[in-house]
Amino acid sequence: MEIGVGLWCMRATRDAPAHPALYRELVEDARLAERLGLQSLWLSEHHAWYDGWCPSLLVAAAAVLGATARLNVGTGVFLLPLHDPSRVAAAGATLEQLAPGRTELGIGLGYREAEYDAVGVSRRDRGRLAEAALGKLETAWDGDGPRVWIGGIADRALARGARRGLSLFLPSTMTMPRLRAVIARAREVSAANGVAMGRVGMHKYAWVTDGSAASDRDARATIGLDVGEYGGSWWTLGGRRGFDAPDKLREQMQMAASSALVGTPGQVTEHLGELQTLGVDLVVLQVVQPGTRPAYRDNLRRIAAEVVPGLT
């Protein structure tokens, strides 16, 4: 199993510095992750919000690739329908030429009307646009481009990747029974279409603690608060913006906190081993959040020194 770390979003919030410092830290953290022997570092994209969430993932990815020699860089996720597929194809081909085999292009559809409105595209067309864009990328790269991961939880999105033999990038809160069923279904769809199934990746909130009840509680509370700020700002819950649906938002916070990989290095390693048994090849551990600054760097060190060696 490979371990990646994320998600670097470069969000300038109350708990984070201004953007120039955040992008400098991205490069510093990439070099640290490489020195620690971690396999990949993952970025995330959004648009049209006050915090300036990273809008140009492939540019940021190029900076990471240029600052390192071995580290892979992934996008979790790149909102493909919002972009011109010809430009994506050209940028992906360039990254592959400059750093062969080191770009992991996780793509998703996105869900916010405001992001689609900002580029003059209807959100109702996102599935069709993604299908067309994937076709253009396959033709342009002809097997010589970044590895593509299909992000999401909807059956249609997962089938879109499986029938092409693409890799899957699954969400943090997916239960073990659902994960088992999704992987089995992906194998069926790939086989029915005569292609080899891609890899299976998963995003998981995570934090290595000393194992005490207090440290575990604090870590889960921090994760919950991060999901609350994100979900409250971005999600629609029960037809309302997250902050306007506090009970539903609280449920999402609790779900994220309870499903996170929190505990001693041995406990985190054990949970990762369970995912590996089900067929997960890559786990991106989300340790970077506004509320974890700057402690996430120490957690990266603990993951590399105390968690990764216990995996096969």
- Tell me the C-alpha distance between 246 and 175, whole Å: 23
SS3 122: coil
pLDDT in tens, 252-288: 999 999 999 999 999 999 999 999 999 999 999 999 9
- Tell me the C-alpha distance between 180 and 189, whole Å: 15
pTM: 0.95
Cα dihedral 293→299→300→306 (10° resolution): 180
Is residue 241, in this structure, part of any structural domain at all? no
Is residue 77, in this structure, part of any structural domain at all? yes
CB atoms within 10 A of CB 138: 15
- Characterize the bridge pairing of strands 236-237 and 240-241: antiparallel
Eight-state DSSP code of residue 108: E
State percent of the chain over pLDDT 90. Answer: 83
What CATH number is associated with residue 200? 3.20.20.30
pLDDT tens digits, the chain, 312 residues: what are they?
999 999 999 988 777 778 889 999 999 999 999 999 999 999 999 998 888 899 999 999 999 999 999 999 999 999 999 999 999 999 999 999 999 999 999 999 988 888 999 999 999 999 999 999 999 999 999 989 999 999 988 888 889 999 999 999 999 989 999 999 999 999 999 999 999 999 999 999 999 999 999 999 999 999 999 899 888 888 889 889 889 999 999 999 999 999 999 999 999 999 999 999 999 999 999 999 888 988 999 999 999 999 999 997
Is residue 234, in this structure, part of any structural domain at all? no
Is residue 159, in this structure, part of any structural domain at all? yes
Residue 300's φ and ψ, nearest 5 degrees, are: -60, -40
Is residue 202, in this structure, part of any structural domain at all? yes
Looking at residue 2, its pLDDT comes to 96
Q: Residue 159 sits in which domain range?
A: 2-209+264-310
Is residue 252, in this structure, part of any structural domain at all? no
Looking at residue 49, its pLDDT comes to 83
Is residue 293, in this structure, part of any structural domain at all? yes
Is residue 60, in this structure, part of any structural domain at all? yes
pLDDT in tens, 153-184: 888 888 999 999 999 999 998 999 999 999 99
Number of structural domains (the chain) is: 1
